[in-house]
C-alpha cells in the first residue's frame, strides 16, 4: 500500500514540505490512538533480536538514522514503527536555519536523495526540553558545530552539545562528515579529529557514569584515511563508528537532479557503505562495533551490512522510499538468518 498508493502521492509534493506534512500526520494519527496500530503492523518483538552494545540493550538492531528527526520532535511516534533506537540531530549549540532552500532533492530514477540542509535545527536546548519526557526509547544524540563557528573553535561546540545532552541521550555521535557545512570534513583529518575526540572522552571520563561516544564518517575517505580512523578509535578509546554519512560522489546517476550540490544518499551508496564497513571490520580485527548505514532498501541490504561487520544498522532514505514495512522485513529476515 505504501509504495503503490501513499508514496506516489507524497512524491508529488516538494520533499522538504512533505517531510514536515508527514510529521504532522504521524503526530495526528498517533494522538488519536493509531500508535498501537502502527506497532502491531510493524513492530517485531522477539528476544532473539536484542543486541547488547556499549553497555546498552537494543530491542532490535534497526535504528532510525540522524537527520530525519533533527529536533527530537517525533521520536516517540516514530518508535511505534518498530525501530530499535532513534538517533536525533544533528543538533548544534545555537539554533540555525541551515542552507537556503531549495535544499532537498529526490532522484527517483536512482532511488536516492540529495540534501544540502546544513544542520538546520532549533538548537540543543530545544531538543533537550523534548527529550526530558522520554521514558523508555533508546536515543542517540548526534552533535555538530554551528556554521559560523571556525574549525579551530569547533571543539567548544561539540563540548556544549555533549554537556547539554548528556543526561538525556543513551549514546553520542560526533558528526564531522556532513558535506553541507563549509570545511566541516576537514575535522576528519587525523590531528584535529584526535584532539576533538580526546577532549570529549576526557569530559566523559569525568562523569559518574560515562556514555558511549561514536564517530560518524564519510564514505569518501580513502583506505589510508580509514586506517587513520582505526588508529584514532584505538588511541582515543571511543566506543565505535557509524559508517557512513552521505557521499559527494555522483558516479552512474541518471536522474535530472544528479548535479545538485550536497550529500547523496540511497541506493547509489549501498555498495560503498558496505565496503567501508568491511574494511574497518577486517583491518581492525573487529576491535570496535560499527553501525552500518547507507543505501539499505531491503532486508538483503541490511544482512549484507551485518555480514560485512555491522552490529547495528540505521535507515533514512530507505525508510522514505520503502516505507515502515522495511523495518519489519529486516527484523523478520534476521530471525530467519
Positions marked active-site:
178
Coil/strand/helix, residue 10:
helix
Q: What are phi and psi of 89, to 5 degrees?
A: 105, -170
- Tell how far CA 105 is from the center of its chain: 18
Rounded-to-integer distance, Cα 84 and Cα 58, Å: 6
Q: Where are the beta strands (DSSP E) in 101-187?
A: 104-107, 112-115, 139-143, 171-175
Locate 321 and state its grid cell.
Answer: 522510499
Bridge-based pairing of strands 51-53 and 240-243 is unpaired
Coil/strand/helix, residue 86:
strand
Q: What are phi and psi of 328, to 5 degrees?
A: -65, -45
- The CB density around residue 48, as the number of other CB atoms within 10 Å, is 9
Instruction: Evaluate whether 63 touches 87 at the Cβ level (below 8 Å).
Output: yes
Q: Which of 91, 88, 151 is nearest to 120 (CA)?
A: 91
Element (H, E) at 227: helix 223-236
Rounded-to-integer distance, Cα 1 and Cα 203, Å: 48
- The one-character DSSP state at 66 is T
Amino acid at each position: 500500500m505504501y509504495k503503490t498508493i501513499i508514496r506516489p502521492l507524497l512524491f508529488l509534493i516538494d520533499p522538504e514540505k512533505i517531510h514536515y506534512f508527514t510529521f504532522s500526520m504521524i503526530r495526528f494519527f498517533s494522538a488519536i490512538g493509531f500508535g498501537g496500530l502502527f506497532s502491531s503492523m510493524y513492530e517485531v518483538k522477539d528476544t532473539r533480536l536484542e543486541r547488547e552494545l556499549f553497555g546498552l540493550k537494543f530491542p532490535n538492531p534497526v535504528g532510525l538514522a540522524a537527520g530525519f528527526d533533527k529536533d527530537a520532535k517525533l521520536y516517540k511516534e516514530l518508535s511505534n514503527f518498530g525501530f530499535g533506537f532513534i538517533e536525533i540531530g544533528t543538533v548544534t549549540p545555537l539554533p540555525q536555519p541551515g542552507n537556503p532552500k531549495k535544499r532537498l532533492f529526490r532522484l527517483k530514477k536512482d532511488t536516492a536523495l540529495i540534501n544540502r540542509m546544513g544542520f538546520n535545527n532549533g538548537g540543543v536546548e530545544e531538543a533537550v526540553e523534548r527529550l526530558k519526557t522520554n521514558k523508555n526509547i533508546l536515543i542517540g544524540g548526534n552533535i555538530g558545530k554551528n556554521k559560523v563557528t571556525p574549525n579551530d573553535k569547533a571543539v567548544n561546540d561539540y563540548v556544549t552539545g555533549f554537556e547539554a545532552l548528556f543526561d538525556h541521550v543513551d549514546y553520542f555521535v560526533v558528526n564531522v562528515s556532513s558535506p553541507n557545512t563549509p570545511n566541516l570534513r576537514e575535522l576528519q583529518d587525523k590531528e584535529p579529529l584526535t584532539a576533538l575526540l580526546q577532549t570529549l572522552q576526557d569530559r566523559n571520563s569525568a562523569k559518574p557514569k560515562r556514555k558511549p561516544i561514536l564517530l560518524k564518517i564519510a564514505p569518501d575517505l580513502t583506505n589510508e584515511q580509514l586506517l587513520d580512523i582505526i588508529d584514532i578509535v584505538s588511541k582515543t578509546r571511543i566506543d565505535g563508528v557509524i559508517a557512513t554519512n552521505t557521499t559527494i560522489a555522483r558516479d552512474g546517476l541518471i536522474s535530472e537532479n544528479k548535479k545538485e550540490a550536497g550529500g547523496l544518499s540511497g541506493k547509489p551508496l549501498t555498495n560503498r557503505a558496505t565496503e567501508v564497513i568491511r574494511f574497518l571490520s577486517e583491518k581492525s580485527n573487529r576491535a570496535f562495533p560499527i553501525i552500518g548505514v547507507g543505501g539499505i532498501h531491503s532486508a538483503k541490504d541490511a544482512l549484507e551490512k551485518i555480514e560485512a561487520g555491522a552490529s547495528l544498522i540505521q535507515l533514512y532514505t530507505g525508510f522514505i522510499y520503502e516505507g515502515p514495512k522495511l523495518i519489519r522485513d529486516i527484523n523478520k529476515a534476521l530471525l530467519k538468518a
